[in-house]
Amino acid sequence: MDNQQWLEVFQDIGRQMLDGIREFLSREGGTISLGRGAGGDKTFPVDKWAEDIIISSLERAWREGETFTLLSEEMGMRKFGEGKKIVLVDPIDGSNNAKSGIPFFSTSLSLLDGDTLGTLAVGYVINLAAGDEFWALRGKGAYKNGTR
């Protein structure tokens, strides 16, 4: 897949998150920690819910032939084949806010073509409280809701 196709995968993940977050938070208070994620922060049900959506979408990309390593704040590292690409994920950035009803939380996804941030190819953030999308494609600029 090229960078534009990866952005489309990330945007699809964002749509799934946006479509389900309010309903999830309305039925799942999520105040009880599920433990600590690979990044050391507490993992709450909303983090697990979001990561499950992300992993499901990335598994689809892998089944279609993509190889990469997933590095997530919650689960840590998972290899999808032996590719050099890295997908960095924070399933819910601001999970304390999300579970407390404070409208400042997002999902962050990025694609690296190597093992340093200098190889960033695609960056994507969706503000799950307001619905705004932000993304950047290497060599193509940065966008908010489709406007450069």
Q: Are 13 and 6 in contact (CB under 8 A)?
A: no
Tokens coding 126: 């969706």
Q: Identify which of 134, 136, 145, 37 has the alpha carbon closest to the alpha carbon of residue 95.
A: 37
User: How far apart (Å, rounded) are the C-alpha atoms in residues 47 and 54?
Assistant: 11
User: Residue 80's CB: how many other CB atoms inside 10 A?
Assistant: 18
Q: Are 87 and 71 in contact (CB under 8 A)?
A: yes
Q: Identify which of 4, 73, 89 has the alpha carbon closest to the alpha carbon of residue 40.
A: 73
Q: Identify which of 113, 68, 136 has the alpha carbon closest to the alpha carbon of residue 144.
A: 136
Tens of pLDDT along the chain (148 residues)? Answer: 999 999 999 999 999 999 988 887 777 655 565 666 666 566 667 888 899 999 999 999 999 999 999 999 888 899 999 989 999 999 989 887 887 788 899 999 999 999 888 999 999 999 999 999 999 999 999 999 999 9
Tokens coding 93: 């950035």
Tokens coding 100: 């407390």
User: How far apart (Å, rounded) are the C-alpha atoms in residues 80 and 82?
Assistant: 7
